[in-house]
Structure 1
Amino acid sequence: MFHGSMVAIVTPFTPKGRVDEEKYRQLIEFQIENGTDVIVPCGTTGESATLDYKEHDRVIEICIEQVKGRVPVVAGTGSNSTAEAIELSQHAKEMGADGVLLVSPYYNKPSQEGLYLHYKAVAEAVALPQILYNVPGRTGMNMEAGTTIRLAEFKNIVAIKEASGNVTQASEIIAKAGDKIDVLSGDDFLTLPLMACGAKGIISVTANIMPADVKAMVVAVDEGRWDDARALHLKMLEIHSTMFIDSNPVPVKTALSLMGKIDAHVRLPLAPLSAANLAKLTAVMKGYGLI
């Protein structure tokens, strides 16, 4: 249902820390103009953890308003509280989102049965296509392939964003439940390997600054142009790595600032890039012709 090059879009802030609606709308247009298939607001890259409820809803609302149905909008509505995830997801549905992205409950460290029951509750409460999001580095625990395969039985659980870095785990999901649930890469540098195994695309950080290149690689895979896909994969490796020289989204927001698209402001407890990392990011971006 949700395939291709999908951007985990940043939430730009003004220097005073407020949501910058105008810059946000411009970023959305930049993505659509460069062929991005799905816009994903309020994910990790969108700093959802520091948006209050009103801001969270507004960021999703702006995205839906600006997109105007040209591409799907999949809203980040996950929480470490099942009741809160349901509430956020219902709000997204009411605003007109095409689907929701649900990060696994963080900090609580639920068992695999707890994870299953959490996602089951959301699926049963909200009649909207849902993408599970497994990111152990952020949540403190891994959702095992067996749990995802169980959840694939719910018709409105349509995909999983796999950011475990475990190609074997992702492959097991595809092998055993690929007819029921799509696997999406959650790591830019693993998009090509995972798509070679049957994944359907990427929810990307790098696409914030290089949307056309990320889209071109996904299209090359879909069209069976493996040499072209491999060349693009290798071309983007350095920029993928550079997007994680500090906690996401600090590097990518700084990169967008260097490109003149937004202010680099992030909310505490995130902090600006160090001078050394800023110099590294600047050099890499110059090498790519981005600045």
Structure 2
Amino acid sequence: MTSRKIELFVPAITPFAADLSVDTARFVAHAKALIAGGAHGLAPFGTTSEANSLSVAERMAALDALVEAGISPQQLIPGTGCCAAADTITLSEHATRLGCRGVLMLPPFFYKGVSDAGVFDAYAQVIEAVGPDLRVYLYHIPQMSGVPITLPLIERLIDAYGAQIAGLKDSSGDWDNTAAVIAAFPQIDTYSASESLIPENAAKGGAGCISASSNVNPGGIRALIDGLNGPEHHALHHQVSQVRKIFEGLPLIPAIKSAVALQKDDNHYARVRPPFTVTGLEHADAVAEAVRVAR
């Protein structure tokens, strides 16, 4: 097992104004609150951030706003993976130029049934265009993307690009796959997408967690990380698992945003872009219970 720091990176929600433009002020305020609340860093512009409903220009402007607000670029792993290589390159060059810790990169995800060789070529195209300062965290979320990041693909990328392949986020929900990645590639940082798996992730030599519900429960998740070997471990694990379980029974992204809105007493945070819709009364009690349990 490779000993490494266990960290929480939050895939921060993207607040929207009444006209559904990015609400930069609330985005920055929420980001700062997450870090103050215990997050080691942020992974904005992933699934939870509604990134694929944002333009390239919107993502770049929002990332600039985080850095200009004083958040260290080394605490940022922004999502940059798009269907078009030119867009991925533009976003990845921008993040690298700002000094971000790395980028969280989906494979091109519209065309399904593509080969590992084709996905390798897609990553290679971006890495070679951006250059040696780029650090890539691969994003495995096959239930959404339809394009898996397989172990042979990871091996080939590491063989070709070495330390530029910095890590992987496994959002597949398959712990056996996460464990296999950690075992096969101990030199990269492998993050689980569920805080309930932090103890297993840490024990195997993983790097921690990038979880949607950390928008609501950063303090609880950080307490679990800090208390992994402490006497309150089981209680801390129960707390984060309880919050996670509630959200797993809800429309995830709208429910996370509604919970943040409830925590902040600010309904502006609940806005979503189509095709999502704001959670209704049928989910209000569950959202309120998640907020009650969170810390």
Same topology, TM > 0.5: yes
Alpha carbons 1:162, 1:185 under 8 Å: kept: yes
Deviations 1:94-134 (A, max 9, x none): 34433111023222122222222222222222222111110
Q: Secondary structure at the match of 1:152?
A: helix
Query: TM-score, length-normalised on structure 1?
Result: 0.89
Segments of 5+ residues of structure 2 without an aligned counterpart are: none
The equivalent residue for 1:138 is 144
Query: TM-score, length-normalised on structure 2?
Result: 0.88
In structure 2, what is the Cα distance between the partners aligned to 1:70 and 1:112? 31
2:142 partner amino acid: P
In structure 1, what is the Cα distance between the partners aligned to 2:171 and 2:257? 20
The equivalent residue for 1:129 is 135
The equivalent residue for 1:9 is 12
Aligned in 2, Cα 1:71/1:53: closer, same or farther, shift over 3 Å?
Answer: closer
Aligned in 2, Cα 1:209/1:218: closer, same or farther, shift over 3 Å?
Answer: same
Aligned in 2, Cα 1:156/1:20: closer, same or farther, shift over 3 Å?
Answer: same
The equivalent residue for 1:278 is 284
In structure 2, what is the Cα distance between the partners aligned to 1:220 and 1:124? 41
1:166 partner amino acid: D
Deviations 1:123-169 (A, max 9, x none): 22222211111001210232222222322332211100011122222
In structure 1, what is the Cα distance between the partners aligned to 2:145 and 2:108? 7
Q: 1:166 aligns with which of 169, 174, 188?
A: 174
Give 1:44-123 correspondences, 5 Å limit.
44-69=47-72, 72-109=75-112, 110-123=114-127
| Identity across the alignment (%) | 26
The equivalent residue for 2:184 is 176
User: Structure 1 segments of 4 or more deviating over 6 A?
Assistant: none
Q: Which moved more, 1:4-13 or 1:201-210?
A: 201-210
Q: 1:268 aligns with which of 267, 274, 289?
A: 274
In structure 2, what is the Cα distance between the partners aligned to 1:203 and 1:232? 17
In structure 2, what is the Cα distance between the partners aligned to 1:128 and 1:95? 11
In structure 1, what is the Cα distance between the partners aligned to 2:137 and 2:6? 11
In structure 2, what is the Cα distance between the partners aligned to 1:10 and 1:289? 17
**Cα shift at 1:238:** 2.4
In structure 1, what is the Cα distance between the partners aligned to 2:154 and 2:5? 17
In structure 1, what is the Cα distance between the partners aligned to 2:123 and 2:44? 20
Aligned residues: 285
**Cα shift at 1:71:** 5.2
In structure 1, what is the Cα distance between the partners aligned to 2:180 and 2:269? 41
Q: 1:237 aligns with which of 241, 244, 250?
A: 241
Give 1:12-31 correspondences, 5 Å limit.
12-31=15-34
In structure 1, what is the Cα distance between the partners aligned to 2:73 and 2:128? 28
**Cα shift at 1:181:** 1.4
**Cα shift at 1:200:** 0.8
What RMSD in Å do the two structures reach over aligned CA positions? 2.2
